[in-house]
Structures are given as C-alpha cells and as structure tokens.
Structure 1
Amino acid sequence: MNLNEFFNELKRRNVFKGTVSYLVFSWVLLQVIAILSPIINAPAWFGKMLLIILIVLLPVWICISWFFEITADGIKKTKNVPREKSISQKTGQKLNTFIIAFLALAIILLFVDRFRLRAEKKETAIATETIPEKSIAVLPFSDITPDKQQGYFADGLAEEVLNSLVKINELQVTSRTSAFSFKNKAMDLPEIAKALHVSYILEGSVRAQDSTLRVSVNLVETKTDNNIWSQTWEKELKNIFKIQNEIAEAVAENLQLRILDNIIPKVKESNTEAYELFLEGRYVFRSNIDEASLIESEQLIKQSLAIDSTYVPALVLLGNIYHVQNNYGTIDFEQAKKVTSQIAERAIKADSTYAETYAFMALSSLEYENDIGKAAKLTNKALSLEPNNETALHRASEIALLRGNAEEAINILKKVLAIDPLNANNYYALANTYYMAKKFPEAELNIKKSIKLDPDQDLAYSQLALTLMYQKRYKEALKVIEKEPLEGFQLHVQAMIYYFLGDTEKSDAALNKLTKEFEKAWGFQIASTYAVLNNETQMYFWLEKARTNNDLGLIELPYEPTFEPYRDQPRFKEFIKKLNYKY
C-alpha cells in the first residue's frame, strides 16, 4: 500500500474524523471541568490528571478507529467487513454532525469562561481600587522628646486615639498592626495610604518634658496629599485621657461624619503613673514574645494595677500574658485557667462595656472550658459593642470553623484583612483555616503572604510545609521545614515528610527525638504524626496523653487533616466525646 492509498484508507475508515471528534470532545470536557472545579471545590490535580488520561487515550482511540468499524450488526474488525457492506460513509456524516455540535458547544463554553474570568477580574479590580471614603489609618506618633525615652508613650497615645475611633461604626479604621508597620520607614503618605487602602491618615508627634505634654496631630487627605487639619495640645500629663478624647472627637468632626459628641465613648481615666506603666508593659509584651519578655511585661502590668486595680485594658492584657505563659509552659493549665477567670471577673465588674474583655473571655471559654457555645455568646457581645473589633472577629472565625462552617470562618478573616491588611498573623490565620478546610492551594497562597510580611515568625514554615506535603510536593516541603524556628514542630513535620518519601530511618529518628524532648508540650503534634504514619495504637496513646496534659491543640482535633482517615472510627468518635466540647 503506497502513501496515497494509505491516506485514502485513513479517510475511508474515518480515522481523521474520529480523531477530530475525540479532540473536540476532550476540549469540551476540559472546559466543563475548568468551569465547575471552583464551584464543586475539585482539587487542583483533578484537571491535570484528566488531561493526562485524555492524552494517553488518544493513540488508543486512533488505533480503534483504524482496526474497528461500526456496522449495522455492531462493532466489527474492519478487515472482516466487506467494502460493499461498509457504512463508513454514513458514520462519517454522523461524525461531522457530532464535530459541528461539539464545536458550537466549545465556543459557547469558551465565551462563558471568558465572561467568568472577566467578571472575576473586574470584581477583584473593584475590590482593589475602591477605597472607602470614610476610612482612616492612625500612624504611630513620633517621639520628639530630646532623650527619645517616650517611644512607648507616643505609641500608646496613638493607639488609644485609634481605639476611640474604632468605636465609630461609620468609620473604617485600619488596625494598629498594619498602621504601625510603617514606623521608622521613609515612605510618602500617599504610598502608605495606598498600601493601607484608606482615604485619610492621622499622624502626630509627642513631646513630654517634666510634667508637660505637647501633642501635635495632622489629618491628611490621601487622595490629594493635602493637610486638611492640624492642631496642637499642650497640657499637664495628668490630663492625658482628656487629650485623647479631644483628638478623637476633632478627627471625627473634620472627617465630616454626622455624629454627636457623645457617639465617641469617653475613655475611663486612670492614674497617670499607672497608665504609663501599662503602656510600657504592653510595649514590652508586643515587642518580643519570649519567656523573659513575658515575665517583664507581667511585672510592669502588676505594678500598674497596684496603683489602679480597676483599669480594664491592663487587666485584659495581664490575662493575655498569663494565657501565653501557659502556651510556653511557664505556668500550668490549671493555674492559667484559674487566674484568667479571676481577671475576667475583675474586668467585667470594673467596666461591662469594654469589648476586649468579652473577646478575652471567649478565648478562655474555648481553651480552658471547651465551651464553644459560651464563647460564641461572649464573642457576639463583644461585636455588638465594637463590630470591627479585630480580636472578637478572630474569635468569631475560630468558632465558625469549630462548628464546621469553614466558608463563614474564611469570610470573617477576609473582613479582618480589610481593616488590618499588613498583619502577618491574619494571613497565617486565614491559611490555617484553608488548611483545616483541606483547601491546600489557597492555604499555600496565604501562608506565603504571611511569611513575606514576617519571615521570622513561629509556625509559619510548618504551616507552609504541611500544605505542600498534602499536595505531594514532599521535597519542597522538606526544604521549607528546615526554616521553622520551633524545633518541636520541625521534627513533627519532618517525621511525616520522610515517611512519605519512604525514608523510615529518618522518619523514626525525627519522631523519637520529638517524643523524647517535647513529650509534655506537644503531645497533640506527636499523636498527629503517628496518625499520618498509620500507627493507630500510638496515635490513641498520645491523644490520651495530650488530654491528660490539657493540651490546647486538641481543640483542632475535629478538623485537623492528619486525622481524616480515622474520623468515622467509633473509637475516634468516643475520644471526641471525652473532650466534652459544648457546641
């Protein structure tokens, strides 16, 4: 058979039309999958796997088209069908109809996909470009005191002004973490405004000398970069709270918000010395969280409360210090539970309108009482007092996730990011929520944003390594986990990755070191490691040990992906019941 005869035979057997019909059908199928994947939350690998299968099957289809033919009596080998009885011409016509119909469908799907992408881009662009008219960022005030020893005081005053403005529901106020991230950075205000997505910026300076305080503030409209208002206060230090209220009210008026003076709640005044100690303690607590800093900040806040035992922000801060000390093992679970409960009672008694108190009590209810329902009520109370309170919004997100509402949890965190867009912790929280929802590509995207904002934070590299591990990118995950500052979490993740890579020797070595050196602190992580290694006996042993040690990580047990294979086991369900979660 010469080349011309072979070509004609390909045409007669409808090999060309069969191939074209296969390609058109494949294209339509891939288009349908691309459109439906985001809706049905299909994993990222599904489309790629389907494409590979279709490519592999193409030669098979071509061979079938050559060797087999559709006849009136069914499918037969082409060589067994006499030419005079062949209906390949009719089959070819049907294939023509098939190709035209699916090409039309492909064009429709192409337009649908283009429209969808255009709509998504437009939505993203609108979300990116639209800056709320009534939005403001309060930058850290500059310390212009000659000895430069009032930095914590300047920061504290700016933050208190910010906290007063947050109480105005009509005004979107950028959170402290994002606004203060520009401290000591040589950037123009329009550039800062663009990053923070705000229409106004309040900047100021503080000069404290002897018993006199001089505060100057400027309100800048970022669109025009015009200084639309400025004012200076010079008063005795004992009037610091009055100054704070005056600044907040003046800013609100100059933003032309139609509010009454009493819309902005007056700040409860404290003793000046107590307030300075509070500011210094908060500054130490936020600067560097380690055991030494926790002890120093605790001492400063206790000194402040010794002077004024009813200053609620100091009480709530002390409660948070004790909670973090429990995480670091400085105080045990029972002690932390007792002191945080006592502090909450004191705070509510002193001021029942302070939103942060209810947010703190919600955290205590979650971690010390396993009472999700109670935490939800306390969080709702906090948000009723301050709808944009960032701490309360984080609690609301955690509660939504614990109740199985992952999408709600994600949406709440997106709201947090709108008011605090440069906070690495917020992206970490969003990444962790996506991880718990088993949306690993989204988790990877957000944890990378978190690391970009703060490359030195604890747990972020563990989170990234886990998301890579669940996408079967083991070698990448192994490189990432080496950067994790917390050795216990590094060993936890390494043991799992080496297991998947088939290196049982290194996996066992990492796990043995983890159990030997971090037995009490991270029992939950050890149980999680054994879960991945398919060692049920050790998994349940360490879960029981974590329960005995009141490991706070157990609150994530119902949704932690490492335990996914065991969720339907009666023994696992019984263990969950023993944790006594109250929903």
Structure 2
Amino acid sequence: MSTVFLSYCRSDQADAARLAAALAAAGLDVWWDHLIEGGAAFAKRIESALEGADAVVVLWSARSIESDWVLDEAARGRDLRKLVPASLDGTPSPLGFRQYQTVDLVRWREGNDEAPLQALVRAVAAMGSGAKPEPVRAVSAGHAPLAPHGPGPANAVRRRLLLGALAAVPALGGGFYAWRHFAGGSAVAIDNSVAVLPFDNLSGDAAQAYFSDGLSEEVRSTLTRNLALRVMAKSSSSRFATDQRDATEIANELRVSYLLRGTVQRQDDTVRVTVSLVEGQTGFDSWSETFTKELTDVFAVQTEIAYAVADRLSAFVDGDREDREGLAAVGGTTDPTALDAYLRGRTLYDLSSDEASERAALRAFDDALAADANFAAAHAARARSLTAIANQYGSPDENVRLYAEAVTAAERAIALAPALAEAHSTLGFTRFQGQLDARGAREPFEESRRLGAGEATVLTRFAQYAARCGRHDEARDALEPALVRDPLNPLIHRAAGGIAYAGKHFADAIPPLEKALAMNPKLTRAHAAIGDARLNLGDIDGAIAAYANEPVADMRFAGLAVAYRRAGRAGEADAAMGELHALGDRVLYQQVQALAEARAIDVAFDALERAHALRDSGLIYARNDPFLDPLRGDARFKALLERLGFDLPVA
C-alpha cells in the first residue's frame, strides 16, 4: 500500500479533506493533519511522517505558495525525490519547483471530473513500492468516505483522516451501496477504532449485571461523541458478552484495532471500575486503570474513561481543550437512586422481549425521574420507551396519547441537555412515525445527525427518514458510517435494504436484506421487503416465495395480494385481500396497497383517509411507495402528501 503525505495550507483544508478521502478510497494510505500549521511542537511528528511516506503530495494554491510550512515540506519532498505537486486553483508552482510536472485539479475541484484525480493517483502509484491502487471515482465535497487501512510502522505517528462520521467505506462503484465491503473479512481495522465490550459484574450478585452492562453502555455513548474515534455500536459489540474467543479473534471479526474491557464492583454507595484497552492484533493490554468513585460520581467516571481512551488512541494531538470538553457525559445525574433506576430501565428496554418488559422499562425510567426530575438522559429514555410501546403494542386510541407523551419527554430532555443526540433523534422519530409530521421531524432529525455523527442508531434513524423524504444521497451518506459502526446488527442491514428500495434501487435492496436474514433468520419484515424488491424487478414467482416466508401477517398478505393480482391470479389475490380485511383497521395502509393494485381507486382513498385519522404509521412510506403509483397522479394523493408534511417534490 502506497503511503501519501498530504501538504496543504490551512485555508485549503476543505479541499485537502476531500482529496484525502478520494486518495484513501483508491487504496492509498493518507497521512495528513488539519493542525499542520500548528507550530514547532509538531515539527518532529510531521518530519517523521513525511520521511516515511512513499509520496509527498503538495497542494499549490494562491495561498499555499506563501506558506513557509508548505514550502518546507515541498522542499523536503523534492530532496527525497518523491514530490508529486498538484494545483488546486491553477496557481503555478513557485520558483524551485517548476521542473516538476503539476497535476491540475481545477476541474476536479469545481465538479466531479475524475480525470485529474486519476492522474494524481497514477503519479502517486509510480512513487510507491506497493501494489497499484484501484481506480477511484470523484468524491462529493462534504461527504468524503475513508478507506480502511492497516497499521503502519511502530515509530511513526499516524495522522489519520478524521472526517465527520469517519466512515471506513471505499468509494462506491457498480451499485447503490458497497455491500461487498460489509460482507466480512475484506476490511482492515483503522488505528482509532474501538469496541466497548460489556463490562463484567464482580459484585457476586447476578441481579446486579444491569449496573455493569449499563455503565459500559454509558462509556460507549460518551466515546461516540468523539468523532476522531470509530466506536463500534452496542448491538455488534454485545454479541461478544459471553464469547470465550480471545481478543484477537473478536477484534478481527469486529474489524477494530482495540477492545475496551472492564469490570465493575459495586459495594454500598461506592463503585470500583477497572478498564483495560486491549490491542486487537496482539491481544495484550496497552493500558489499564482503576477508578473508585462514589455512586454520585458515576457519570464522571465514564467521562474520565473516555478521556483516557481517546488520549491513548492519540485522538487529541495537542490535548485541545475544546474537543475534550465535548466528550463529557451528557444529561447525567448525581442521584444514586435515579441512576440505579435508569440503568435498570436501560437493561429492560434493551431486552424488549415482550410488552411486559417494555412497560417495566417505562416504570423504571419514571422512577428515575421521580428521584431526579432534571435527569435528561432518563427523559430521553422515557421518550424511547413510550414510542416503542406505541409502535408495537398500543391501540390506535392509546397511541395518540403515548406519542404525545413521548414528544413531551424528548422535548424536556433537549431543554435540559441540548447536546443529547438521542433525544433529538427520538423527537424526530416520534413526530415522523407517531404524529405523521415529516416537516416537523426535519429539524430534530438533522440536529441528531449533527450531534450523533458517531452513533449508529441515530444515523440509521436519520437515514430512514431522509430516504422516505426523497433525500436519497443524504440517506446513503448517513447509513454508510452506521454500517461500519454496527456491522453485525441485522436491523441496520434491513434498514439499508429499505433505503435502497426507497430510492428505487430494487436490485441493490436485496443483498443487505438477505444479509440481515442470515444474521437473524427470524427477523420480521425482511422477507416481505425482498418480495417487494423482486416484484418491482418483474420476478413475480420469486416475490411470492419471499412473501410466503414473511412471519408478519399484514405484510405477508399485502404482498401476496399485490403479487397474485399482478400474476393474473385473481382468486388468490381476493383471498389474500380478505385476510387483510380480517385484520381490521390496524392494517389500513397495507389494504390501500392491495386496493391500488386492484385499481379500486376511490375505495383506496377512503382507506387512506381512515388511516390518516387513526395515525397509521404505514403512511410514512406513501411518498415513494411504488405500490401506490396508481394513486399518485390524483389530486387527493398530492393533498395527502402535503398533510403528511412531505414538502419536497414527489419522486
């Protein structure tokens, strides 16, 4: 793998970031530093990186030719015979460097012309000793992906590409999503990647496991706010809670460089937490520390651990105070009773095994708030709990109240802790799916993406919302880092299939759905989603086979009603429609899909009106559901979309 040292001036940082992403996507190992002009304290580190690189790419511009730092680095690259000059704005190389051919990046910078970028990649490849990189396509500004790469020399300070949500995804080609890179085995861990495994309970009481599990999750949540780290999400990390494999095997499967392990011992009002950072390649501890605190200081413990991990992974080159303060725990409490109830609720909520556990979780969050009414994280958790109950178990009448309470709880959490991404995400989800207000959901969803760029669940919710609103590029860009951070979560792969489907990339929707089912063969709604994609691809028999395997009755019968009708099997279509009607008004949206296929237009619109009155959450799919195309040209349909808050042009 060829290594590249990227030299640029601070005023060109945005272009440098975009270029670094494109080079990384080509398979090059990019070394750069957004603090490259930060002073003499960095000189030795910069020199070490420059000396070890195969090529020194210098970005000339009207400003960089006046930068002493850039001129010095260019001179060293020239002396080492590995200078690759490029011009961002057409500015010629300064005196002393004009004997070198310069790659003109103006057309690439102003648009997405790949030719200059390809020329630069070829020039770098000619310098390096590694294999020739793969062709690269242009990367849109502001959405730069990062290619995975392996560890470098032990004596070099790695200056990794740390952009936005730090998505370790190659540039996409040949499909809407690069599913192959998530199929297992092909990606290599990057240096600042870490998985927080569930902490072990050393209390001697198995009933106290909720406390150790909850604390490890709070540490993980705090770490995700550091965008310089790639933190594996809970659903993927927690698969190894009782796994007896050694650290190297676990790290390899999760594709992370480090594992954070811990033990928790609680005694009376004191908690003792021991954590260790394990190197994924060797299995050895690179750092460990013990924290002993009063229960009132537990939220401070998670912040201390997060600082220590970030420092160990060199996430803060100069210990920048502003960044460190952003890593503090958000929305916590100093009340031990509130904390205990909250952690109990988290464990029950994560189980989500049945309605009883969901409602028990809600009671636990209520207990936490009874002890501390200003516990923002508990308000946010209460909002999630109310939304889950409404989504899965509530009656139409009860749901109106539950969703209204969820909105109030999320808004209270935001008022208490404006930086709590999960609260903004829950508010957006509840307004969108619970109150059918796409317009009102937009601001909290966008704020959740900004604040929660390291949180897979937050990113996935935003991606699904964006896809339903026709913002397909934003949906894809949010989902990619979510898949990287939670590659073993079947729900995210199922969401990926739904997002591709919403963009009418029907063939690309099937692989992630099949991957989700491989992870969890009992997963609901995945077989039906495959059936939808196959039906829209013209594979009626394949669609019918997929629908027949769907465990959720409303989706199974809706799919079969449409597929049989399209196959000309009217009797079977009517029978499936009869099954839908027998399920009652709770499946009105699915009835509309079948009625639209049967061209019962007026009856379909009557059902749509009832669905809207009952706040049927299926209506969030209406904007780009191809099964509703027979209704799409009708003024009544356009009026419905406006009432739902879909203010973007209909796809």
**Same fold, TM-score > 0.5, yes or no:** yes
1:565 partnered with 2:630: yes
1:193 corresponds in structure 2 to 251
Between 1 and 2, higher relative CO (CA 8 Å, sep ≥ 6) is seen in 2
Query: Which of 347, 361, 369 is matched with 1:297 structurally?
Result: 361
Q: Does 1:529 align with 2:594?
A: yes
| Distance change in 2, residues 1:147/1:571 (3 Å) | closer
TM-score by length of 2: 0.67
5 Å matches for 1:381-392? Answer: 381-392=447-458
Distance 2:245 2:294 in 1: 33
- Measured in 2, the distance between the counterparts of 1:401 and 1:203 equals 37
Correspondent of 1:215 among 273, 284, 287: 273
Q: Which residue is 2:431 aligned to?
A: 365
Q: Is the 8 A contact 2:436 2:617 kept in 1?
A: no
The 1:336/1:417 distance shift into structure 2, 3 A limit, reads same
Would the alpha carbon gap of residues 179 and 255 (structure 1) be closer, same or farther in structure 2, given more than 3 Å must change?
same
The match for 1:262 among 310, 325, 339 is 325
Supply the distance in 2 between the matched residues of 1:383 and 1:498 (Cα, whole angstroms). Answer: 41
Q: Deviations over 1:37-63 (max 9, x none)?
A: xxxxxxxxxxxxxxxxxxxxxxxxxxx
Q: 1:496 to 1:303 in 2, by over 3 A?
A: same
SS for the counterpart of 1:218 is strand
State the match for 1:241 in structure 2: 299
Could you say which residue in structure 2 is the equivalent of 1:107?
Answer: none
Q: Which amino acid aligns with 1:189?
A: A
**How many Å apart are 1:364 and its aligned residue?**
2.8
Deviation, 1:370, is 4.3
Map residues 395-544 of structure 1 onto 2, 5 A cutoff: 395-517=461-583, 519-544=584-609
Report the Cα distance in structure 2 between the residues aligned to 1:161 and 1:398, rounded to whole angstroms: 26
Contact map agreement 2:419 2:451 (CA 8 A) in 1: yes
Counterpart residue number, 1:42: none
- Partners in 2 of 1:414 and 1:126 — Cα distance? 11
Assess, with a 3 A threshold, how the Cα gap between structure 1 residues 153 and 509 changes in structure 2: closer, same or farther.
same
**Gaps in structure 1 of 5+ consecutive residues:** 1-114
Q: 1:264 to 1:579 in 2, by over 3 A?
A: closer
CA distance in 2, matches of 1:193, 1:298: 35
Q: Does 1:226 align with 2:284?
A: yes
Alignment of structure 1 residues 22-41 onto 2, 5 Å: none
Match of 1:275 among 301, 319, 339: 339
How far off is 1:580 after superposition? 4.7
Could you tell me how far apart the structure 2 residues matched to 1:288 and 1:358 are? Answer: 22
Native 8 Å contact 1:370 1:581 kept in 2: no
Say which structure is richer in helix: 1
| Aligned counterparts of 1:529 and 1:116: Cα–Cα separation in 2 | 50
Choose from 152, 157, 169 the match for 2:210.
152
Q: 1:184 maps to which residue? A: 242
Matches of 1:580 and 1:136 in 2, distance apart?
39
Structure 2 CA distance, aligned partners of 1:126 and 1:343?
A: 39
1:549 to 614, 623, 626: 614
* Distance (Å, rounded) in 1 between the aligned partners of 2:526 and 2:639: 32
Identity of aligned residues (%): 27
Aligned-CA RMSD value: 2.7
Q: Distance in 1 between matches of 2:520 and 2:369?
A: 33
1:134 pairs with 2:192: yes
- In structure 2, runs of 5+ residues without a counterpart are 1-131, 138-146, 148-169, 172-177
Select the residue among 367, 376, 382 that pairs with 1:312. Answer: 376
Which amino acid in structure 2 is aligned with residue 297 of structure 1?
A
Distance 1:146 1:580, change over 3 A: closer
Question: Which deviates the most, 552-561 or 261-270?
Answer: 261-270
Q: Is the 8 A contact 1:139 1:203 kept in 2?
A: yes
- Greater shift, 261-270 or 186-195, is seen at 261-270
Say whether residues 1:393 and 2:459 are aligned partners.
Answer: yes
Structure 1 window deviating more from structure 2 (545-554 vs 282-291): it is 282-291
Matched residues, number: 468
> Against the structure 1 CA distance between its residues 478 and 402, is the aligned structure 2 distance closer, same or farther, given a 3 Å change threshold?
closer
Q: How far apart are 1:460 and its partner, in Å?
A: 1.6
Report if aligned partners of 1:141, 1:154 keep a CA contact under 8 Å in 2. yes
Instruction: Find the structure with the greater CA-based Rg.
Output: 1
- State whether residues 393 and 412 of structure 1, in contact with CA within 8 Å, keep that contact through their aligned partners in structure 2: yes
Shift in CA distance, 345/266, structure 1 to aligned 2, threshold 3 Å: closer
Give how far 1:139 is off: 0.8
- Indicate how the Cα distance of structure 1 residues 438 and 117 shifts in structure 2: closer, same or farther if over 3 A, else same: farther
Residue 349 of structure 1 deviates from its aligned partner by: 2.9
